Structure 1
Amino acid sequence: MEKGERAAEGRFLPVPDVLVFLAGNWRVRRSVRDLADGGTGEFTGTTAFGALDGGGLLHRECGTFVWQGVARPAERTLRFLPGSVPGTADVRFADGRPFHDLDLRSGRHLAAHPCAADLYRGEFTVRDAGHWRTVWRVGGPAKDLLLTTDYARED
């Protein structure tokens, strides 16, 4: 995949190996909408995908989350391990609990993660060699959220 390579309009860029694609540093912008009460927020920061001992990538995200005008530092860590099928990943929380699988060989992937009474449904899409997006819809008894995250590769 050459830098600047783009998927055809309305299509996604296939990624033969998700761990190779993600490795490196990304700028992150995430919008958060509470669909129940109209609240909004935004996270801006960076995500680094660095080599993990034993294989895979350690995902470290840090930045600032602003919720309805109040800014707070925010961070999270995930582990992207090689999946059971070559080119895919098994995404886990920092403590090793399973989160979701990730297969971008078609340039698009759907995932689901039950979390207590909530259900997270995610869509991952690759626009080009330097841009990808996640959209999570979170529903449950106390949540009705839409989280849209855009990633842009840092040079």
Structure 2
Amino acid sequence: MLLPTDLLGEWVLRRHVTDRLAGVDGTVTGTTTLTGTGPDEVRWDETGTMVFDGRTVPVSRTLFVRRGPGTGTGTGLGWTVHFADGRVFHDWVWGGSVAHACSPDEYTGVLAGDVDHWTVRWEAHGPAKDYALHSELRRRSHPAD
């Protein structure tokens, strides 16, 4: 099982988006950077360009992965992914399924891979959404030692 701290550095991001409700596919290409901001926190920044439904737009987001008591998979001291505003997104579970309830829709995902190539897959289902996201990340650089 990889921890967020195992993935520090810069990554080439390629994401495929399939919106089944709209019948449209799209892509995101860019960079993901994971930076240690302390022993118990990793900052996850994504920047790139999305091509979707005939439009090209810049996209970005920031997440934080934090370690703390009462989080994770019941091991006592686990990691949890948070949105930039502090809301919990999902537990950090490597290779197993994670969930994010966003009423009325539900999201399920999987993080898997190794220290040089990993993927993040999400499925969203519900009355408002029916789509799949498949992100592939390949290491561009390791953090400075």
TM tier relative to shorter chain: 0.7 to 0.9
Considering only aligned residues, what root-mean-square deviation do their CA atoms show, in Å?
1.8
Structure 1: any 5+ residue segments left out of the alignment? 1-13
Is 2:26 the counterpart of 1:36?
A: no
Describe the superposition over 1:23-65 as per-residue Cα deviations: whole angstroms up to 9, x where unpaired.
Answer: 1111100000012332011001001111225731111100101
Q: State the match for 2:85 in structure 1.
A: 95
8 Å CA contact 1:87–1:103 kept in 2: the answer is no
Q: Kindly indicate whether structure 1 or structure 2 has the higher relative contact order, using CA contacts under 8 Å at least 6 residues apart.
A: 1
Distance 1:71 1:48 in 2: 22
Distance 1:102 1:55 in 2: 13
Specify which of 13, 31, 39 is matched with residue 46 of structure 1. 31
Structure 2: any 5+ residue segments left out of the alignment? none
* Structure 1 residue 125, shift from structure 2 partner: 1.2
Q: Secondary structure at the match of 1:103?
A: coil
- Corresponding pairs, count: 136
Superposition TM-score, scaled by structure 1 size: 0.81
- Which residue type is aligned with residue 99 of structure 1? F
Distance 1:54 1:96 in 2: 18
Q: Secondary structure at the match of 1:95?
A: coil
Seq. identity, %: 36
Q: More displaced, 142-151 or 29-38?
A: 29-38
Q: State the match for 1:59 in structure 2.
A: 44
Is 2:108 the counterpart of 1:118?
A: no
8 Å CA contact 2:5–2:36 kept in 1: the answer is no
Distance 1:125 1:86 in 2: 22
Q: Which runs of 4+ in 1 moved over 6 A?
A: none
Distance 1:87 1:125 in 2: 20
Q: Is the strand fraction higher in 1 or 2?
A: 2
* Structure 1 residue 66, shift from structure 2 partner: 0.8
What is the correspondence of 1:5-154 to structure 2 with a 5 Å cutoff? 14-15=1-2, 18-53=3-38, 55-83=40-68, 84=71, 85=75, 88-104=78-94, 108-126=95-113, 128-154=114-140
Describe the superposition over 1:67-108 as per-residue Cα deviations: whole angstroms up to 9, x where unpaired.
Answer: 12210000000000115447842100001000000132xxx1
